[in-house]
Amino acid sequence: ELKVEQNPLFLSMQEGKNYTIYCNYSTTSDRLYWYRQDPGKSLESLFVLLSNGAVKQEGRLMASLDTKARLSTLHITAAVHDLSATYFCAVPPGTYKYIFGTGTRLKVLA
């Protein structure tokens, strides 16, 4: 069965610092998704990575995908408080199904 693991599970960082969240998955997939969830809220799509080597950037977030290593990264540059949220990666092992990672709870301290 496909496993999707994220690390770290919890991340507390100072404003202005950089950090990377990792998403490892256990079976082949050429697609990966990143979502953000604010406390008590729904999930919001951040990035869709559709091929090996794909890189997407939005503001202070940049996501990349290495399908050979079965690894995606979400890099945070110069963190600000507004980025505090839980971040999920999700992998489709086949059609009609997505397996979500364990989530990384990010807290950016002023």
Partner 1 sequence: DTAVSQTPKYLVTQMGNDKSIKCEQNLGHDTMYWYKQDSKKFLKIMFSYNNKELIINETVPNRFSPKSPDKAHLNLHINSLELGDSAVYFCASSQFVSTDTQYFGPGTRLTVL
SS3 label, residue 63? strand
Decide if 37 contacts 85 (C-beta within 8 A): yes
Decide if 63 contacts 72 (C-beta within 8 A): yes
Considering the rule CB under 8 A, would residue 24 count as an interface residue with partner 1?
no
Among 20, 26, 37, 73, binds partner 1 (CB under 8 A): 37
* Listed ranges 16-24, 29-37, 59-67, 69-77: which one lies at the site for partner 1 (CB under 8 A): 29-37
Q: Would you say 22 or 100 has its CB closer to partner 1?
A: 100
Cα-flanking dihedrals φ and ψ of residue 71, to 5°?
-140, 135
Q: What is the size of the binding site for partner 1 (CB under 8 A)?
A: 25
Among 2, 48, 71, 80, binds partner 1 (CB under 8 A): 48
Expressed in angstroms, the distance from the first to the final Cα of the chain is 40
* Listed ranges 14-22, 51-59, 70-78, 98-106: which one lies at the site for partner 1 (CB under 8 A): 98-106
Where residue 76 falls (left for φ over 0; alpha for ψ -120 to 50; beta otherwise) is beta
Residues within the interface to partner 1 (CB under 8 A):
31, 33, 35, 37, 41-45, 48, 50, 86, 88, 90, 92, 94-100, 102-103, 105
